[in-house]
Structure 1
Amino acid sequence: MSQANQIVEAGGVTPPATVKVWDPLVRIAHWSLATLFLVAYATGDDIETVHIAAGYTIAALVTLRVIWGVIGPQHARFRNFVRSPAVTFAYLRDVVLFRAPRYIGHNPAGGAMIVALLTLITGSCITGVMMTTDAYWGSKILEEVHEIFANLTLGLVVFHVLGVLLASFEHRENLVKAMFTGRKRAG
């Protein structure tokens, strides 16, 4: 008998079996990136040393996550959740119609969101580093591009949170909790 079958919650209800989905590196990187992005966004021009430290840490985390997306475990690998635009748009159509299939790992929309967020955050990191060099010190144009990347990222974060809430509702599972625990309902 498995461990899940031996646990009984209050009221005599046996909880559903769960499976390990997201490894600690994915979860720590996810929550660290979210927190550090908010710190960097909030400090901006006001607390430059904190903003720069957060930015460099974000750059390191993005680099680590991209490497992990190639060599990490099954649900961390990009090849297992990044889908074609056609598949992604078909999935989004099914979401609107409340008939989207449930995925154990990231769904096609989640995969597209990860790629988009990593791309925009990378753009913010590159432009941020460039602004610290002699060649681009004080460049107003580069500063504007950096801010555009940051604002677009913030917009995607809002859509990401809304998508997580919608998928949680549609499939009756707590995806936020799953990103903390690393486990999702098996069936």
Structure 2
Amino acid sequence: MSRGTIDDAALEAEIGQLPALSLLELRNRWKTLFSHPAPKSLRRNFLARAVAYQMQVEAYGGLSVATKRRLREIAHAVRTGDANAMLGSNRIKPGTQMIRQWQNTTYAVTALAEGFEWNGRTYKSLSAVANAITGTNWNGFAFFGIKRAPSGNKNASGPRRTSSRANPDVGTVPVSKVKSTRSGRNA
């Protein structure tokens, strides 16, 4: 499949044919896509799925660099048993106090290393504290007005496109010029 233009229907049809391919054909597709032979231990079903995924990566782009780095960090944390690293930097630091006024009463909750303390009790989550305070289910972050850090641009690794800067023959046209030529008037 050509990388230049993406034909969704053709890609979908090609992926749909993968389960019908022989093991040898799947291994050849793997070698073409990954530039190395497929491990002998991989089963046919997994080969088909991995080849399909890689075809989509080639057509639409893969995971962003930041996502790959975060996945490596999580994998390392799982291997070493480091729970804090698994949770990431978005975690509320121990000692932080969240203060919320609810129905004319002010509530102060303290973040602990393993949960949250309010009214002499320890809770596993902010949502559990919010539930204890209000008697209804709340997202703890929403209840205490905590904004989570943005995770970045979800489309950062989107389709591969050619940039107009990469092609010196393509020039840019000022917006005013475009508007004036479309309306039929001179600028």
Tell me the TM-score normalized by structure 2: 0.21
- Decide which structure has the larger Cα Rg and report it: 2
Relative contact order, higher structure (CA 8 A, sep 6+): 1
Greater helix percent: which structure?
1
